[in-house]
Structure formats: structure tokens, C-alpha cells
Amino acid sequence: MKRRQFVGGLAAAASVAACTGEGPECESGAAQSSEMFEWSCVTSWPPKYPGLGIAVNNLAERVEAASDGRLKIKVYGGGELVPAFEAFDAVSRGTVEMGHDASYYHKGKIAAAQFFTAIPFGMNAAELNGWFYYGGGIELWRELYAPFDIVPFPCGNTGVQMGGWFNREINSAKDLEGLKMRIPGLGGEVIRRAGATPVTLPGSEIFTSLQTGAIDATEWVGPYNDVAFGLHKAAKYYYYPGWQEPGAGLELMVNSEAWASLPPELQALVELAAQAITTDMLAEYTHGNALALQQLKDNPDIEVRPFPDDVLRVLKGHTQDIVDEQSASDPAWKKIAESYYAFMNKSTDNQMATEVAFLNTRAL
């Protein structure tokens, strides 16, 4: 695998005959617009993983096509170039120009990054985009990542996820006590406070752990990804809704120097492509989840169930506590949380009067 080394300095791979930034050939607009770029994009997904992984491959192909080959992006699955979950560091250091993953993977470094993927009981996909593009969310995100030399872009959303697979019934909050569940991030801390034991497992170990009883439950994404993963063969109860991830937004990260090296037309193209992929990924999930959930409902070995309100109320209470505690000690978190919840609180009435009231007519 041959690729250009990108070690700080000039970020763009100039084509043989193109302007390199200072020569006289840069004086011609025509020469400028023939400048070529070959970028690498690392991800935390298995290569071409449905939804998450396909989306970034689509982004790369469509940017290459729309730039007439001027911006080529080679996409790497997790572990192919850098380990999964190390995309942030690779982009920050300039080892690669671009990365695609979920901002909450960086919570160890920047707790507030979680707001840009999903917060338990937080915003759904439509609201998150409303906040990102019209409520100041992207500006807060860029400010948060600037010290790491990363320019982030929203790029994809899974929609509201499912609550997960359980090998026992959850009839009250008491049933969470002692439960060993694979659930990362803030959701994990929430169930810990509810008496359960959150565990983190690589994707490859989830199925076996659930099947052997090493864990009692796991959340993953939604029917489209979960069925492909075989989770319905390892547990009986499939609970909803995904209180822990109500519309997980994915991120495209671009190294700041690499970004600055792109001419304005290719910057505009990357922004368009990232925003297009948000529509496209949510469409893929909306379609794929619909079909996969029907399969599960037709499967006599599976029970698809709502969490009892009592359970959701307890989980919501713990979430609120955690958000408030973090605000007390983390100014970046506090600033972002204030903007996030200010919009979400204003948005709820509209979501209930439109999406919820409308979808409820399906049962009439």
C-alpha cells in the first residue's frame, strides 16, 4: 500500500504539474484549479460496514467524482492503517488528513465531545441538525476541536437507536440491578448508577459474550446493524427506545492544516458532501431498520418490547445528575450543555406536535 507521507507542513499532495503554493505557476487560475490532492481517511468501522462504513466510502467516491479526480480520498477501516478509535489522534497529529467516527469516542480526552454524537435522553437526528446548522452547534464543536488541530463536520446520523438485547425481562428498575451490559460512554455510567455493571467490549466479542452469558445484555445500533451482527440469535428480548443514543451523529474530521491547504472550491465540496451523507445515511438506516425490525417481529423467538416508563424515568434521572455534575467541573461541557439543552427544551413541543402526533395517526 503506497501512500504519501503526511507529516505536518504542506498538507496537499500537489500533482506533478500543479501549483505548489508559491511558484509562478500559481499565478494562473487554470494551474491553480488543476491542483490534485490524495488524502487518507481513517475510520473506526469495519470496512464497508452497513450504514456507518458505507457512508464514508460513498463520501470518498462522490467527492472524487464531483471534483473530477482532484480530491481522492482513500478510506481505511478500523485497524487497517491506525487502530480503531485512534482516528482522532491520527488526524490531530496530521498522520492522515481525514477521519470518520463518532465524537463520543474521544470522551476520555474531551468529555464535551459527546454532545456532538448523542447524549442519553438528548436530541434526535432532526433536532441535532437544527442545532448544528442553525443553532450554533457547529461553531461550538469547531471551537472545542481547534486546540487539537481538527475541523469537524457532521457527517451521517443513525436515527434513534434501539435500547438493546437482553437475556432477561426488564419489568422494573430493580431488574437492572446486577445486570452486566455492554454499553459504552455516558449510557454506561447511567446504568452503573442504576445498579448494573457496564462493560466495554470490542464489536467482535459482543455476540459470543452475550451467547455464553458472559454479559446479560448489549446495546449496539438498531435492527439493520444488529441483525447483520446476529445479536437476535444470542438474546430473546429486544427493548426500545434507544434512550442512550437518540440519533447518533457521526463526524468527519479534517486536520486543520490539510483543510487550510484545500482551495475554496474543494472546501465547499467537502462541506456539501458531508451534509449530503447525513441525508443518505439516515435514509439507509430508516429503510434498513424498517425491514430488519419486521423480520424480528415475525420471528417467534424474539420479543420486541418497550422499556417500562418506570425504568426510563430512573435512567433519565441519573442522566440529568451526570450532566449537572460534569457542568459543575468542566467549563467547556457547561458552555455546550447550555446551548444544547436551551434548543432541545424549546424543540420538544414542536416535535410532539409534528412527528409524534402525526405518527400516532398510523394507529387510527
Subset of 33-52 contacting a second copy (CB under 8 A):
33-34
- The alpha carbon torsion through 127, 251, 208, 227 (nearest 10 deg) reads 50
What's the one-letter identity of residue 40? S
The smaller minimum CB distance to a second copy, of residues 1 and 30, is found at: 30
Cell 462541506, residue located: 271
Interaction residues for a second copy, span 62-121 (CB under 8 A): 62, 65-68, 121
Pick one of 268, 321, 324, 331: the residue that binds a second copy (CB under 8 A).
Answer: 268
CA distance 179 to 242: 17
Interaction residues for a second copy, span 276-315 (CB under 8 A): 276, 278-280, 282-291, 293-294, 297, 304, 306, 309, 312-313
Residues 75, 57 contacting (CB under 8 angstroms) = yes
Interaction residues for a second copy, span 114-133 (CB under 8 A): 121, 124-127, 129-133
346 near a second copy, rule: CB under 8 A: yes
CA distance 20 to 263: 12
* Surface-to-core class of residue 220, CB atoms within 10 Å of its CB (0-12 exposed, 13-18 middle, 19+ buried): buried
What's the one-letter identity of residue 30? A
Interaction residues for a second copy, span 169-208 (CB under 8 A): none
Pick one of 275, 299, 327, 339: the residue that binds a second copy (CB under 8 A).
Answer: 275
What's the one-letter identity of residue 72? K
Cell of 98: 481525514
CB atoms within 10 A of CB 70: 21
Number of residues that bind a second copy (CB under 8 A): 83
Cell of 27: 499565478
Q: Quick one: which of 156, 134, 153, 157 has its CA closest to 145?
A: 153
Pick one of 103, 161, 261, 326: the residue that binds a second copy (CB under 8 A).
Answer: 161
236 near a second copy, rule: CB under 8 A: no
Residue 177: CB minimum distance to a second copy, A: 20
CA distance 72 to 100: 15
Q: Residue 284's Cα: distance from chain center in Å?
A: 15
340 near a second copy, rule: CB under 8 A: no
249 near a second copy, rule: CB under 8 A: no
Cell of 290: 424498517
The smaller minimum CB distance to a second copy, of residues 214 and 304, is found at: 304
The smaller minimum CB distance to a second copy, of residues 114 and 157, is found at: 157
160 near a second copy, rule: CB under 8 A: yes
The smaller minimum CB distance to a second copy, of residues 31 and 214, is found at: 31
The smaller minimum CB distance to a second copy, of residues 303 and 330, is found at: 303
141 near a second copy, rule: CB under 8 A: no
260 near a second copy, rule: CB under 8 A: no
146 near a second copy, rule: CB under 8 A: no
